[in-house]
């Protein structure tokens, strides 16, 4: 069935370091992959997304890469700052459905 | 636009009571989603609507849960009777139209059942 696996579950980095979060999906026909950031006590907010017809997308310090052959995609955050500390969720939209299937989340902690 | 609006923001109730959560999607959005978030189970999709019609309710945990969307600007999620294990944050999200997959979340309702 539909499944999205996300790793790691927690990630601690020093300010200025890079952070990478990885997700794998099961449906080879999946065509949309968003990333959401959720700060403590707040709603999930879309930070970047990628469609299956491109391999990489970048927005300032964040980027997402997609490997359709291996069925995995990754979030890259460069020059991390304390305000990047949050839980990050990946998701995949499956063909024929409008719904998203979410990963289990990665808690990122950026220490000053 | 005010974004997705949910009420109440916090609800504390006793086991056995009926709970109704409310959502107003972003104007013009065709899709509405109800999610439940807990530490143990993460973010789970309960049900979603397209143009007020329920499309997929496979995530609704049991018959105690029901959801309605009487018009394009209002939806409810009802739990009757409520149980302590229903304690969670319930999010509503909306999405513009088919082919546009971004989902915009409301602030959530934190439900505590004692």
Label residue B2 by pLDDT band (50, 70, 90): confident
pLDDT at B48: 95
Instruction: Measure the CA dihedral A54/A59/A64/A65, to 10°.
Output: 50
Contact A3, A92 (CB under 8 A): no
pLDDT higher than threshold 70 for residue B1: no
CA distance B2 to chain A (A): 14
Residue with tokens 């707040």, as numbered in its chain: A42
Helix (H, G, I), strand (E, B) or coil at B47: strand
Give contacts of A45 with chain B, Cβ < 8 Å: 105
pLDDT at A1: 63
pLDDT tens-digit series, residues A23-35: 999 988 888 999 9
**Closest chain A residue to B33 measured between Cα atoms?**
A99
Interface test with A, best of B29, B103, B108 (most A CBs within 10 A): B103
| Backbone CA torsion sign across B41, B91, A44, A82 | negative
pLDDT higher than threshold 90 for residue B25: yes
pLDDT higher than threshold 70 for residue B98: yes
pLDDT at B7: 97
For chains A and B, count residue pairs whose Cβ atoms are closer than 8 Å: 44
Mean pLDDT of all residues in A56-84: 95
Least confident among A2-6, A21-25, A38-42, A81-85: A2-6
pLDDT higher than threshold 70 for residue A3: yes
| DSSP letters spanning A64-108 | EEEETTTTEEEEEE-S--GGG-EEEEEEEEPTT-S-EEE---EEE
Share of chain A above pLDDT 90, in %: 81
Q: Do A98 and B106 touch (CB under 8 A)?
A: no
Share of chain B above pLDDT 90, in %: 88
């Amino acid at each position: 069935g539909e499944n999205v696996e996300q790793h790691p579950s927690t990630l601690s980095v020093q300010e200025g370091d890079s952070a990478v979060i990885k997700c794998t999906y099961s449906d080879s026909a999946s065509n949309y992959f968003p990333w959401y950031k959720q700060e403590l006590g707040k709603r999930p907010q879309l930070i970047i997304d990628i469609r299956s017809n491109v391999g990489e997308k970048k927005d300032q310090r964040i980027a997402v890469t997609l490997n359709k052959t291996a069925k995995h995609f990754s979030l890259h955050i460069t020059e991390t700052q304390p305000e990047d500390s949050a839980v990050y969720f990946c998701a995949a939209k499956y063909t024929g459905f409008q719904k998203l299937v979410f990963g289990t989340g990665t808690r990122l902690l950026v220490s000053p | 636009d005010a974004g997705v609006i949910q009420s109440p923001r916090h609800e504390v109730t006793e086991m056995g009571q009926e709970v109704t959560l409310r959502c107003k999607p972003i104007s013009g959005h065709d899709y509405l989603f109800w999610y439940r978030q807990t530490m143990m189970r993460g973010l789970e999709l309960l049900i979603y609507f397209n143009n007020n019609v329920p499309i997929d309710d496979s995530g609704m945990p049991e018959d105690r849960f029901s959801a309605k969307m009487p018009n394009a600007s209002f939806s409810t999620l009802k739990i009757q009777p409520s149980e302590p294990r229903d304690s969670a944050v319930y999010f509503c999200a909306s999405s513009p139209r088919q082919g546009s997959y971004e989902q915009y979340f409301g602030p959530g309702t934190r439900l505590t059942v004692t």
